[in-house]
Each structure stands twice: as C-alpha cells, then as structure tokens.
Amino acid sequence: MYQRLRDLREDRDLNQQALADLLNVSQTTYSRYESGTLDIPSVSLIKLAEFYETSVDYLLGLTDKRKPYR
C-alpha cells in the first residue's frame, strides 16, 4: 500500500508537502503515512482516492484495478 501511495504521488510529480496540504497534515505526518509508520485515517484515504481518481481498495492494495467503482 505504501509504495503505491508514493508511486501515485511521483507519477504526478508532486512532493509530499503538496499531499500534506491536501490532507491538512504536516509533511512529516504525510511522510509517516507513506513509510507505513502511521496509519492513514479513513477520511484521508477517501480524499486521496478522490484526488487520484481511484478507489480506496486500490490504495490499500486490495485490487490492482485502478479505476474507481463509480
């Protein structure tokens, strides 16, 4: 899951601060999300899925289908 978050961010040429701003957290907190040292709150997972136009299941590694369910 954590590598997937990093890959999605890097594919869009974004830094961690940009995603931290989106989630209203510090860059350090977002870095801890990506490294897996801190669990990501469900509200943040939903925001990330909407931002990346994918599903939470994809972010969590439960599916390899990148398209959202909608």
**In this predicted model, what pLDDT tens digit does every residue of 3-50 receive, in sequence order?**
899 999 999 999 999 999 999 999 999 999 999 999 999 999 999 999
Specify burial of residue 62 (Cβ count, 10 A radius: 0-12, 13-18, 19+): exposed
Res. 1 pLDDT band, cuts 50 70 90 = confident
Rounded Cα–Cα distance for residues 58 and 3 (Å): 12
**pTM of the full structure:** 0.89
Q: What is the pLDDT of residue 2?
A: 84
pLDDT at 69 over 90: no
Task: Show the tokens assigned to 20.
Answer: 């931290």
pLDDT at 70 over 90: no
Task: Show the tokens assigned to 3.
Answer: 């590598």
Contact 30, 16 (CB under 8 A): yes
